[in-house]
Amino acid sequence: MAASDWKVPGIRQPKAGDYEFDLERMFASVVQISSIVPESAFSAATLGTERAGNAVVIGEDGLVLTVGYLVNEAESIWLRANDGRVAQAHVLGVDQATGFAVVQALTRLDLPAVKLGDSDEAQIGADVILAGGGGRQRSVAARVVARQQFAGYWEYLIDHAIFTAPAHPNWGGTALIGPKGDLLGIGSLQLEQGRGGKTENINMSVPVNLLKPVLDDIIRIGGPNRPARPWLGVYATEVEKKVVLMGIADRGPGKGADLRTGDVVLAVAGTEVVDLASFYQRLWGLGSAGVKAPLTIYRDGRRLDVIIATADRNRAANAPRLH
C-alpha cells in the first residue's frame, strides 16, 4: 500500500514543546491500515471494497486497535509503519456495539504500544492529539469541544462520545491521545457543527473506556461475550422529532418485512419514539437478537402495525479470514 503525499497544515500539527511525553515515540505507535473486502460482503455496498485509514498499536505482541468499518469482512489487511515497513494482519474481532476492531499483525512489528488511558479525562477544553499513520505531518493538535451521546443512522448508539476540533482530514482509526500520552479514543467520523453563525468540521471519537470491558473477549472469542442486540437492517434519520427510514439493507430483516424508504417509525412495542436514541433504546430493550419487534409505521397517510423478527447483525457479515 503506497502512502499519498498529503499532510496536515503545519499550524495544526502537534509541536514537541507543547507536550510532556515523548511525541515521536507516540507517533511510531500509530500505523496506516488498508484492507480489501470481497464484493460479496454485506458491507461492500455501503463502505466499498478498498478501505484505508489508521490504527494504533496497543500491545507489544502486534495487537492493533482501529475502527471497525475499516476492516469488517476484510479478506486481506496490511499495516504500514512510519518507517515504511509493511506487515500483513488479520482481524481478531469487531464489536458492533462500540465500533472497535482489534487486529493482529502476522509478523513482528517492533513498535511501541500506547497505553489505554481513562477517556473520562477527555473533558471539554482538554488539549488532545488526533494522530494518524505517517507521524507529525498526519496528526492534528486539537481540543475537546463536546462530550455527549451519539446516535448513528446504522443502528448505532454510544454514550459520552468525544468530539474534537479542528478536524482531522483522514479521521478513520486515528488515535485520540491525551495530555499524558495515553490513548483516550479512536477516531470514527467527521461531522459538521454550527457555532457562532459558522459551520465547522469536527471529529467524533469512540471513548476507549467502552473497549476495556470487552477487549479480552474480542481477542479471545472474536467479540464481546454478551447477547447480540436485535437488528432490523435499516438506515434511519431524524426529521422534526420523527424517525424516518432512509434506506433498507438488502440482507436485513426489515427488507423481508417490507419496510420501505420513507416510512416513519412512530412507536416500538407501543412506546412512542421521537429520535434515533429512543428508537434504538426501545428496540434493544425488547431483548436479544431474534426477538420479535412490533413497530408502528406511518406510510402514505396510514398507520401500519408491523411485527419484525429481528436478527443478529454479525450473521449478515462474512466471517473474518484467517491467514
Give pLDDT tens digits for 153-212: 999 999 999 999 999 999 999 999 999 999 999 999 999 987 667 889 999 999 999 999
Cell numbers for 91, please give them: 482481524
pLDDT in tens, 24-81: 999 999 999 999 999 999 999 999 999 999 999 999 899 999 999 999 999 999 999 9
Q: Return the domain boundaries, the chain.
A: 10-113, 119-210, 234-316
CB 177 within 8 A of CB 50: no
Cell numbers for 28, please give them: 511510531
Q: Which of 78, 18, 85, 90 is nearest to 53 (CA)?
A: 78
- 206-231 burial, b for 16+ CB within 10 Å, e for fewer? bbbbbbeebbeebeeebbbeeebbbb
Task: Tell the CATH superfamily of the 10-113 domain.
Answer: Trypsin-like serine proteases (2.40.10.10)
List all residues 6 or more positions away from 301 whose beta carbon is below 8 Å from its beta carbon.
none
To the question of domain 119-210 being in CATH 2.40.10.10, the answer is yes
Task: Select the CATH number that applies to the domain covering 234-316 from these four: 2.30.42.10, 1.10.3720.10, 3.40.1390.10, 3.30.420.40.
Answer: 2.30.42.10
Residue 148 and residue 163: Cα distance in Å, rounded?
A: 8
pLDDT for the residue 2: 42
Same fold, 119-210 and 234-316: no
End-to-end CA distance of the chain: 18
pLDDT for the residue 194: 75
Q: What pTM value is reported for the model?
A: 0.94
pLDDT for the residue 198: 83
Confidence of residue 316 (pLDDT cuts 50, 70, 90): confident
pLDDT for the residue 199: 87
